[in-house]
Amino acid sequence: MAVETRPEVAEPAPIAPLFAAHIARFNAGVQSGDFRDMISHFTDDATATFVSLPFGPFRGRAEIEQAYRDHPPDDTIDVLSTTEPDERTIVARFAWHRTRQTGTIRLGHRGEDLTELTVEFDPGVDDVDAARSASSSPPASALDPYALRRDFPILDQEINGHPLVYLDSASTSQKPRVVLEAMDAYYREYNANVHRGIYTIGEKATAEYERARAKLARFINAPDAHEVVFTRNATEAINLVAYSWGRRNINRGDAIVLTEMEHHANLVPWQLLVQERDGDLEFIPITDDGVLRLEVFEVLLKLRPKLVAFTHVSNTLGTINPVREMVEMAHAVGALVLVDGAQAVPHVAVDVQELGADFYAFSGHKMLGPMGSGALWARRELLEAMPPFLSGGEMIREVHLRRSDFNDIPWKFEAGTPAVGDAIGLGIAAEYLGAIGMDAVREHERDLVAYALDVLPREVPDIELYGPMSANLRGGVVPFNLPGIHPHDVAQVLDRYGIAVRAGHHCTMPLHERLDLAATARASFQVYSTREDVDALAAGLIEVQKLFGA
């Protein structure tokens, strides 16, 4: 009698115990948000690389631990198989539990200690989804405002029975959840003063504060993090230069060249300085469509000014100024250059080394960071030569009854207890934008501006728009007026429909005088803005006109 035989089925190869233990610790960290147990098994000189993701590589246990704090994964891993090509290496195939996307993990080890972690996603895996699984940071590929909106809790609400349409990001941006959580974690878990305590949470606070400085330096491509001074905003950063550099270098008859489009923050400090030092202010005029007249600038440079200060992107007109060209023109006659980057850093790629300016100021609250945060970047040799701006604790090295020795830069300019939580939040905001990619941010806003410049005059009769009419020449700002209706009334009626726009002079009264305008309304965009927001604005403006019989 024949005996039926069944084909043998190979048993799946067992998972390498060391790798299984690592993944168990990883998955536990995803569930708890605490990856310290997993990190403790890495050696001091371990490396971690995440191929195709917009962060890393990381070297050393401390950097790896920080990486998992900054980019906590939100999905667990299922191990599919492991192989051991040699006695110090484990190679595993894995899948994210929720999305089922696959990839390879290479784990180097010495005994039970981990020396190398390399994570690579399979070809064809969408980098957007891979980044979301691997990190709370947004994707590095093309910007998807609909996906990003989910990161901003404030946008998930109704105003007067209508979904909130927030079009005032040039005034202040909304904050993503990762920024809010980072600040909350500081105050809940390691609230302590920096550069003082030698206890655990004090040392952690100092490390996170200085790490935020390094993140900002990377974001603007500063050559040295010590050239980044934390301030409350761009206004304070400009005042720092006016008081510290200006009072030492501006004398009777010295000229400072500004422009007609400056925010008051880049005008009033220089007015006070020249009044005190008996200097002179000169102004680069603009064309009727809001573009600087560089031929006049060339003439003004014959005065051999000590300083040229101008905005990178106009907060009112959106005009993007040719910074590199203007810096080269100013340097050719020996002038230093300060750039107000408050409206540029959140919206365009800023490389301070490429731009060549001497001072660059920006605010945190306009770049998805907290209010009360900002920074000044300046060349090291300038900062070292400048006297302190404010005095007291922290900015000193030694204090005696009749004299004091000052600290090194940047701490020489950071007197007193700083806004630690705000600085940490600002660092996270820079990472968030960097993970999206500033080229993608710029392209998104260029699309929105082009759409608005097309839709608004087509859909809203008699609307008046100001500034360059090319989206290539302006940032995400669209100022406008409805003839016969005051901008304040426009804004108030729009609010009935949940639409938030700015109305007034936008801290640019001289610019409005130049354009013969008492005020304007202004719509402005950020990464979370959509074409539907522009459509809602157009529909709201039609309702405004109906109400006023226009």
Task: Split the chain (550 residues) into runs of 10 and give each run's mean pLDDT.
Answer: 41 73 86 82 90 78 82 81 88 80 89 90 52 41 87 96 97 97 96 90 92 94 94 97 97 98 98 97 97 97 98 97 98 98 97 97 98 97 94 85 88 92 97 95 96 96 96 96 97 98 97 97 98 97 92
Output the CA torsion 65→69→75→80 (10° steps). -10
Q: Where are the alpha helices (DSSP H) in 197-334?
A: 200-219, 234-240, 247-249, 268-277, 294-300, 323-332
- For CA atoms 60, 42, 131, 124, give the dihedral sign: positive
- The Cα-based distances of 138 to 128, 433, 444, 452 in angstroms read 8, 8, 15, 26
Distance from C-alpha of 179 to C-alpha of 417, rounded to nearest angstrom: 21
Phi and psi angles of residue 240, each rounded to the nearest 5 degrees, phi first = -55, -45
Q: Tell me the pLDDT tens digit for each residue of 254-280.
A: 999 999 999 999 999 999 999 999 999
> What is the pLDDT, as a whole number, of residue 421?
97
Amino acid identity, position 262: E
Q: Which domains does the chain have, with CATH numbers?
A: 17-136 (3.10.450.50), 227-418 (3.40.640.10), 437-547 (3.90.1150.10)
Distance from C-alpha of 155 to C-alpha of 134, rounded to nearest angstrom: 25
**Do the beta carbons of residue 155 and residue 489 sit within 8 Å?**
no
Active site residue 311: no
Nearest CA to 117 out of 47, 165, 186 is that of 47
> What is the pLDDT, as a whole number, of residue 13?
54
Contacts of 328 (CB under 8 A, 6+ apart): 356
Per-residue b/e over 132-152, b at no fewer than 16 CB within 10 Å?
Answer: bbbbbbbbbeebebeebbebb
**Do the beta carbons of residue 83 and residue 104 sit within 8 Å?**
no
Q: Tell me the pLDDT tens digit for each residue of 1-14.
A: 444 444 443 444 57
The pTM of this model reads 0.76
Contacts of 276 (CB under 8 A, 6+ apart): 247
Pick the catalytic residue from 507, 517, 538, 550: 507
Q: Report cis status (omega within 30 of 0) of the bond before 57.
A: yes
> What is the pLDDT, as a whole number, of residue 99?
67
Amino acid identity, position 412: K
